[in-house]
Every structure is written in structure tokens, then in C-alpha cells.
């Protein structure tokens, strides 16, 4: 009698079989590397796109500290000295109004390196965790095989990224933030984005389901695991991913 996990994996069995056969291609490793590069670049561009969304949807002036004015303690010491190069700068207003959308765009752009570094880091961590799971389940593949599987699974993250940007754009386009400071504005924006949690969770569930199929097929092809054992390992990681997405 088949195990419950084997029965679960048999539902999309034809799809799993086709993906498993694809892992047997001589280009399987090249596909994994290409996917890593595409998702890394795509994530970095997604961060830029998020900044553009902020710029396009947040049309509001907020008051911030003037970055061109020295600290108050410096102005108290040197501000009245006409020979000081700081005198003119200390005459600048302490607070100025700026375009919140542009400021948020610049702030988001400053996080591009998280995409360039974060995706490869996720790939390494998931590949190692997947290899441990495969070994525990009795798999015989190498660490390199686990990196190939993890690379293929990365592709679904582009779906989640695209859905996230679209959901945030929709939420902010229909929001009316009223905060006059960054703190107050941030509260309004978080409240607006929270309304998009449902669609984001659905997109995450679809992406995780795709990754589940890839991992089951990869474990069968690369680690010689049976359908039930492969489904068990994939389901374990999928459950963790769903919990993280729901937080």
C-alpha cells in the first residue's frame, strides 16, 4: 500500500515525471546556473522597480532634518564665526520639505546589494539544507546535485517577486497616506501594504507548490529517492516556507 506522501506526490505525478526527466539532461547544471543569474539580476531589478512604485504612488511632501545643515552642536560652536566655512551652512533651515516618493525610491535603491548577495546566499543555504534532508531520507547524490536542484527551484521566486511588486503598487495606488513625517508616513504605508497580504500569500503558495514539484523531481533524479521519500523531504521544506510567508 503506497504511503500518504507517495499518494500526495502522485496527484501531479505526470508533471513530476516530466521535470525529473528534464533533470537528466546534460544541460541540467547549466540551467541551474542560468537560473541563479536570472533570479539574482531579476531580484536586483525588482528592488529598483519597488523604488519606482514608491515614487509613482506616494505623492506627498514630508518634513525631514536638513542634510545640508551641520549638527546643532557644531553650529552653536562655529555658526557665529564669520571666518568659519560652516557659517553659511548653519544659516540653512533645520528642517526642510522633501518629496516622500523620491526619498523612498532612493532608499529602496540603496538595498540593491541585498538582492545581489541575498539570492546566492539563499541558494547556498537551501542547497545545503536540501542535501541534509536528502541524506536523512537515504539519498545517494552529491552536494553538487543538491545545488542543481536548489538552482532550478529558484526560478519560482520570480513569480513571487512580480506578484509582490504588483500587489504593493495596487495597495499604494488606492491608499491615502497622511503622515507628515517619515515615521507617520511609514505607519500609513505599512497599513496599506498589509491589505495586500492575502494576494501575496496566494502568490507565495503557488511559488512554493512549483518548488515542491521541482524538489520532488530533483530528489528522484539526482538522489535516487523514491517518490514517497522525495515528497516527504519536499513537503518538510514547503511547510517551513509557507510558515515564513505567513509571518
The SS3 call for residue 22 is: helix
Residues 6+ apart with CB under 8 A from 247: none
HEC sequence for 168-233: HHHHHHCCCCCCCCHHHHHHHHHHHHHCCHHHHHHHHHHHHHHHHHHHHHHHHHHHCCCHHHHHHH
Task: Note down pLDDT in tens along the chain; length 247 residues.
Answer: 455 555 555 556 689 999 999 998 889 999 999 999 999 999 999 999 999 999 988 888 887 888 777 787 777 776 666 666 677 777 778 888 888 888 889 888 889 988 899 999 999 999 999 999 999 999 998 999 999 999 999 999 999 999 989 998 998 888 777 766 777 788 888 888 887 788 888 999 999 999 999 999 999 999 999 999 999 999 999 999 999 988 7
The closest of 121, 120, 123, 116 to 150, measured between CA atoms, is 123
Angle formed at CA 152 by CA 151 and CA 153, multiple of 5 degrees: 90
Residue 103 is predicted with a pLDDT of 84
Dihedral (Cα; 144, 156, 18, 242), 10-degree rounding: 90
* For the chain, domain boundaries: 4-60+99-246
Distance of alpha carbon 247 from alpha carbon 208, whole angstroms: 15
User: Largest alpha-carbon pair distance within the chain?
Assistant: 91
Residue 78 is predicted with a pLDDT of 66
Residue 174 is predicted with a pLDDT of 85
What cell does 134 get? Answer: 536528502
Residue 10 is predicted with a pLDDT of 55
Residue 1 is predicted with a pLDDT of 46
Distance of alpha carbon 24 from alpha carbon 148, whole angstroms: 11
Distance of alpha carbon 35 from alpha carbon 152, whole angstroms: 6
Helix axes 156-173, 197-223, angle to 10 degrees: 180
Residue 247 is predicted with a pLDDT of 76
Residue 4 is predicted with a pLDDT of 53
Residues 6+ apart with CB under 8 A from 234: 211, 212, 215, 216, 219
Angstrom distances, CA of residue 224 to CA of 10, 91, 115, 131? 17, 73, 33, 13
Other C-beta atoms closer than 10 Å to the C-beta of 224 total 15
Amino acid at each position: 500500500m503506497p504511503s500518504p506522501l507517495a499518494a500526495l506526490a502522485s496527484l501531479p505525478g505526470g508533471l513530476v515525471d516530466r521535470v525529473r526527466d528534464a533533470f537528466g539532461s546534460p544541460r541540467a547544471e547549466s540551467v541551474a546556473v542560468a537560473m541563479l543569474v536570472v533570479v539574482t539580476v531579476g531580484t536586483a531589478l525588482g528592488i529598483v522597480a519597488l523604488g519606482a512604485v514608491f515614487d509613482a504612488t506616494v505623492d506627498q511632501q514630508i518634513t525631514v532634518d536638513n542634510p545640508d545643515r551641520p549638527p546643532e552642536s557644531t553650529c552653536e560652536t562655529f555658526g557665529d564665526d564669520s571666518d568659519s566655512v560652516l557659517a553659511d551652512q548653519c544659516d540653512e533651515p533645520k528642517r526642510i520639505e522633501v518629496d516622500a516618493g523620491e526619498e523612498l525610491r532612493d532608499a529602496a535603491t540603496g538595498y540593491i546589494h541585498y538582492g545581489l548577495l541575498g539570492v546566492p546566499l539563499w541558494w547556498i543555504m537551501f542547497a545545503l539544507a536540501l542535501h541534509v534532508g536528502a541524506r536523512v531520507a537515504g539519498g545517494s547524490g552529491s552536494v553538487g546535485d543538491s545545488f542543481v536542484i536548489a538552482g532550478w527551484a529558484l526560478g519560482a521566486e520570480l513569480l513571487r517577486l512580480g506578484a509582490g511588486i504588483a500587489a504593493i503598487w495596487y495597495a499604494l495606488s488606492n491608499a491615502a497616506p497622511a503622515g507628515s513625517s517619515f515615521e507617520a508616513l511609514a505607519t500609513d504605508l505599512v497599513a496599506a501594504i498589509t491589505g495586500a497580504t492575502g494576494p501575496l500569500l496566494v502568490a507565495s503558495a503557488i511559488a512554493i507548490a512549483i518548488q515542491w514539484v521541482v524538489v520532488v523531481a530533483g530528489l528522484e533524479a539526482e538522489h535516487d529517492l523514491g517518490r514517497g521519500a522525495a515528497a516527504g523531504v519536499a513537503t518538510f521544506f514547503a511547510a517551513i516556507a509557507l510558515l515564513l510567508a505567513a509571518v
